[in-house]
Amino acid sequence: MSKTPKIIYTLTDEAPALATYSLLPIIDAYTDSAGISVETRDISLAGRIICLFPEYLSDEQQLGDHLAELGELAKTPEANIIKLPNISASVPQLKAAIRELQGQGYKLPDYPDEPTSDVERDIKARYDRVKGSAVNPVLREGNSDRRAPKSVKNYARKYPHRMGEWSADSQSHVACMSEGDFYGSERSATMSAEGAVKIELIGKDGSTTVLKEKTPVLAGEVIDAAVMSHQALTAFIKEQVADAKARDVLFSLHLKATMMKVSDPIMFGIVVEAFYGEVLEKHAEALSEVGFDANNGIGDLYATIAKLPTDKQDEIKADIEALYAERPRLAMVNSHKGITNLHVPSDVIIDASMPAMIRDSGKMWGADDALHDAKAVIPDRCYATIYQATIDDCKANGAFDPTTMGSVPNVGLMAQKAEEYGSHDKTFQIPADGTVRVTNDAGEVIFEHAVEKGDIWRMCQTKDAPIKDWVKLAVTRARDSETPAVFWLDANRAHDAQLINKVEAYLAEHDTSGLDIRILAPVDAMKLSLERIRRGEDTISVTGNVLRDYLTDLFPIMELGTSAKMLSIVPLMNGGGLFETGAGGSAPKHVQQLLEENHLRWDSLGEFLALAASLEHLGKTFDNARARVLAKALDEANGKFLDSNKSPSRKVGELDNRGSHFYLAMYWAEALAAQDEDAELKALFGKLAEEFHAKEAVIVEELNAVQGQAVDIQGYYHPNGELTERVMRPSETLNAALALVAKG
Ligand SMILES: NC(=O)C1=CN([C@@H]2O[C@H](COP(=O)(O)OP(=O)(O)OC[C@H]3O[C@@H](n4cnc5c(N)ncnc54)[C@H](OP(=O)(O)O)[C@@H]3O)[C@@H](O)[C@H]2O)C=CC1
Ligand SMILES: O=C(O)CCC(=O)C(=O)O
Ligand SMILES: [Mg+2]
């Protein structure tokens, strides 16, 4: 390969972005000295907003479209991208980020909720491009390989995290619909030829509305469509509200309003309307006047009614309080601040929220700041059953034991926007009763659904090449790790039935002799995996995109305490490498703690593991010996880091993210000093390792001494770079030592 060896490190949001201020100077110092270039690209929410509106901003304020650039790069063989978690913004977050930037002098337009002119429609359309999960699908030109490396698993066995105990009489459970959901209505077909499909709504009055004129499809591609009935969902929620009250458990809702950015905020809104129904109806006129949108959560009610006269505000608030007395208790996001599970659609995200509940004895936080049994409402049946199976297992057998349990790594189908349910431009809230029809170029009907006003109809595409690649990846992982692999596919589900045909056909193209590869419905796959994990056995889960997301938080959180300790690789289909860090989010709570007490508990292990994998990949693709030396040494350093338990503590005054970076740097320098493949690096890092050893106590003291006081970095979505750097690099001794190897 002719191009220069280069790694792209992404600048994102919240806790991982803060951690980057401390970690990147270390990475730069080590890679510079080896002649490897590490460049950054800004894909933060603020950065993505800024690049939408060049004509509104001064030259100095403008920023290029780094995400689009990386999206193109991901399709090339030289791609080597380290991708940290970023915010997938809900509307309330998007508005907050715009407000913050405006306050910093960025003359950005407001987000028009209900645009009334072409200019406003254009502004809204631009903003909507950065909403929800707008980053990951652009970069994911490959399928996903997420697992806990052996060293990490050993760490968890040696230093087990706390797991809440389970009792057999726990009242916690999952509630899902039995009809009228996506699962029940799904239709699916495999395209026989390249072409396009058209989506139309035929009204009861015979009128035709084109919902989407043209959706290109490739031969072999699987498309499917399903509908969630507004009425059925409302009826289900009302039943569940009553049932939670009767059983005296917390009511909680678990959706993925960030990734399923069109469908799930609407479902969230339907639940908010069902829960707060009487109050919202009573004050409908006033609430409509101020622009309250239930899809943005009950938090939006409190924000928008500020425009009403005080007595009206008080009346609405009193009515809500009175309603709470009749309703079941709500699970809380922040009981101190009165933020409920129904406040903001992006606060409770199912992949992280259900595992947290299972880790905490099946309980969630109540308004009284104590843990209680909860009803977890997961309306659609497609995947809800896996969580009930996990709860059943914990009730029968007690909590999982991190010191003995096996592992469930994942091979996930996600390349080329595979199975991006409920997002993007093929999901609609239906404006009138009728029939939604999908037709091909010849005008033949592929599927149709009877729909009612308010229903959510979604279509989804999964291309053939990614499916083939996914099957290959599964076979390779099963072979390399000598581990049984289970495809989590439900023959009773239309989409999965199509996939099963393909999986069977593609498996036949591989040598699977001696391998244990099965296809099981999700609930059975879960039962088998849990049974095995309790026996200390590993089972690879081979799943579609949604279960990839759910399982790569669920199992790591049970096995390791957090998905931040995962290795998360995306072998790009054109030969490049995308190295995601961990599987979890951007940890808003961690930022709060840093601002309040200057302690950052973010665990950068995912970044350390990703960097080692990225350097190794660079060493291979560019035949770069120094990258290989750095990778090998970093791998050793990661092992020592885990073995010595230098991960950040959660408590102020103790080693935090910055201190953990120092130890990683020290162990990495030691390993480079100990190797004999590259004499120059050996000498250079030998000096640094000596310096670190001599100054270890001083550096740790300098890093820990700053903790305990509030800090101000003048921004949440777009903090001041200089101030943040000062906060994140407080040890002069460490900074001076790094300068010994940095080439500048
Ligand atoms: N790949 C990506 O880009 C992803 C992005 N997201 C985005 O992140 C945001 C938050 O999502 P969500 O995952 O629900 O919530 P969090 O980021 O808050 O994660 C949930 C909890 O997991 C723990 N955690 C996560 N990462 C780490 C880490 N590196 N070190 C230590 N603990 C960690 C924390 O537990 P504790 O509080 O106990 O310390 C945290 O509160 C959203 O905007 C979401 O869209 C989410 C998932 C993936
Ligand atoms: O893209 C997102 O919004 C979240 C992605 C995620 O949670 C994951 O990939 O595990
Ligand atoms: Mg996830």
Q: What is the pLDDT of residues 251-295, one digit of tens each?
A: 999 999 998 999 999 999 999 999 999 999 999 999 999 999 999
Ligand 1 within 6 A of CB of 10: no
pLDDT for the residue numbered 743? 67
Residue with more model confidence, 367 or 33: 367
| Phi, psi torsion values for 645, nearest 5 degrees | 55, 55
Ligand nearest to the CA of 564: 1
- At residue 34 the predicted structure's pLDDT band, cuts being 50, 70 and 90, is confident
pLDDT for the residue numbered 422? 67
Ligand 2 within 6 A of CB of 136: yes
Average pLDDT over residues 571-592: 96
DSSP label at 98?
H
Give Cβ neighbours of residue 488 (< 8 Å, ≥ 6 apart). Answer: 520, 521, 522, 525, 526, 541, 542, 543, 544, 547
- 150 CB-contact burial (10 Å; exposed 0-12 / middle 13-18 / buried 19+): exposed
Distance (Å, rounded) from C-alpha 438 to C-alpha 739?
62
- At residue 599 the predicted structure's pLDDT band, cuts being 50, 70 and 90, is very high
Residue linked to tokens 């320098």: 669
pLDDT for the residue numbered 420? 87
Give Cβ neighbours of residue 277 (< 8 Å, ≥ 6 apart). Answer: none
Residue linked to tokens 């081979």: 542
| Residue 195 burial (CB count, 10 A) | 15
**Which of 278, 281, 302, 279 is closest to 290 using CA atoms?**
302
**Which of 641, 648, 692, 646 is closest to 669 using CA atoms?**
692
Relative to beta strand 80-83, strand 6-11 is parallel
Relative to beta strand 371-377, strand 410-412 is unpaired
Residue 138 annotated as binding site: yes
Residue by residue, DSSP assigns 575-602 as: S-EEEEE-SS---HHHHHHHHHHS----
Average pLDDT over residues 571-595: 96
Do 382 and 183 form a contact (C-beta atoms < 8 A)? yes
Ligand 2 within 6 A of CB of 554: no
pLDDT mean across residues, the chain: 96
Distance (Å, rounded) from C-alpha 323 to C-alpha 312?
17
Residue 136 annotated as binding site: yes
**Closest Cα to atom 2 of ligand 1:** 85
Average pLDDT over residues 117-131: 96
**Closest Cα to atom 41 of ligand 1:** 587
Do 420 and 460 form a contact (C-beta atoms < 8 A)? yes
- Looking at ligand 1, which atom is closest to the CA of residue 16? 29
Residue 86 annotated as binding site: yes
- 246 CB-contact burial (10 Å; exposed 0-12 / middle 13-18 / buried 19+): exposed
SS3 433: coil
Q: How far is the CA of 85 from the centre of ligand 1 (A)?
A: 8
pLDDT for the residue numbered 2? 53
**Closest Cα to atom 9 of ligand 2:** 549
* Two structure tokens written together for 416: 């080329």
Relative to beta strand 445-451, strand 427-429 is unpaired
Distance (Å, rounded) from C-alpha 125 to C-alpha 92?
16
Residue 126 annotated as binding site: no
pLDDT for the residue numbered 453? 98
